[in-house]
């Protein structure tokens, strides 16, 4: 079906920051970006005008870039300022976090100084389960829960490392340090594992290369800026990517 003939039908699901709609094409969905900004599994929440528009633009640019370099994603095209047309996938209920620099929960859990560089990178898995508050798990847990196989995990790990190599350079060329990022994967109708969800300041930690100023959701988590200033930092990321 031609993309121009795609029509939104019903809400398939709604998360903290996005809505997913079914379409008249059973293999495609429309993802709508909301203006809600949340932290700590939704315990902290504010309305941030235009955040959805900015994150839609940022994810569009990043996913197009990753697609160009051979990373398969669910992204098809941006259709308006808040919405994207994407492949319908069955989301794997795991969040994968890749860390290039120690900060946040990793620093607290291991007692390692904030800002220490990680030479080889660290990948962590979190089980997407709101009732359990998305606990940190390991490979054996994930396989035991029958969420995924070891072969699939190894495949995903290779993709994540590739994504990190591509995006570290992509952002550094725009004077942005990619500190860490959270990504999700899903399976499409061909049972292919592809990158899904989003890549934005909501899901990544970005620091300015020169000043080390935070340009991401940590501004909200740590009460570093008023919401009017937070949106300016999100916009700064978009401005740099557009260059």
Report residue 102 as tokens: 């120690």
The pTM score is 0.95
Q: What is the pLDDT along the chain (243 residues), one digit of tens a residue?
A: 666 789 999 999 999 999 999 999 999 999 999 999 998 776 788 999 999 999 999 999 999 999 999 999 999 999 999 999 999 999 999 999 999 999 999 999 999 999 999 999 999 999 999 999 999 999 999 999 999 999 999 999 999 999 999 999 999 999 999 999 999 999 999 999 999 999 999 999 999 999 999 999 999 998 888 888 999 999 999 999 998
Say how far residue 10 (Cα) sits from the centre of its chain: 24
Enumerate residues 6+ apart whose C-beta is below 8 A from 216. Answer: 201, 202, 204, 205, 206, 233, 237
What pLDDT is attached to residue 41?
74
Strands 83-87 and 28-33: antiparallel
What pLDDT is attached to residue 2?
64
């Amino acid at each position: 079906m031609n993309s121009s003939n795609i029509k939104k039908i019903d809400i398939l699901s709604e998360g903290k920051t996005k809505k997913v709609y079914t379409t008249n094409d059973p293999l495609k969905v429309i993802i709508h970006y909301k203006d809600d900004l949340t932290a700590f599994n939704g315990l902290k929440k504010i309305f941030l005008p235009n955040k959805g528009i900015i994150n839609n633009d940022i994810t569009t640019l990043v996913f197009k870039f990753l697609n160009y370099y051979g990373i398969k994603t669910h992204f098809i095209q941006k259709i308006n300022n808040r919405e994207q047309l994407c492949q319908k996938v069955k989301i794997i209920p795991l969040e994968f976090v890749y860390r290039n620099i120690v900060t946040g929960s990793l620093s607290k859990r291991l007692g390692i100084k904030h800002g220490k560089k990680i030479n080889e990178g660290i990948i962590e898995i979190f089980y997407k389960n709101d009732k359990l508050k998305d606990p940190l798990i390991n490979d054996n847990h994930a396989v035991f829960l029958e969420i995924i196989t070891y072969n699939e995990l190894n495949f995903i790990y290779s993709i994540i490392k590739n994504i990190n190599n591509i995006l570290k350079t992509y952002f550094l060329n725009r004077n942005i340090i990619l500190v860490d990022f959270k990504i999700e994967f899903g399976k499409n109708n061909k049972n292919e594992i592809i990158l899904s969800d989003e890549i934005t300041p909501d899901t990544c930690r970005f620091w300015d290369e020169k000043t080390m100023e935070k340009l991401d959701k940590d501004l909200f988590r740590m009460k570093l800026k008023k919401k009017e200033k937070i949106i300016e930092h999100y916009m700064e990321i978009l401005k740099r990517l557009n260059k």
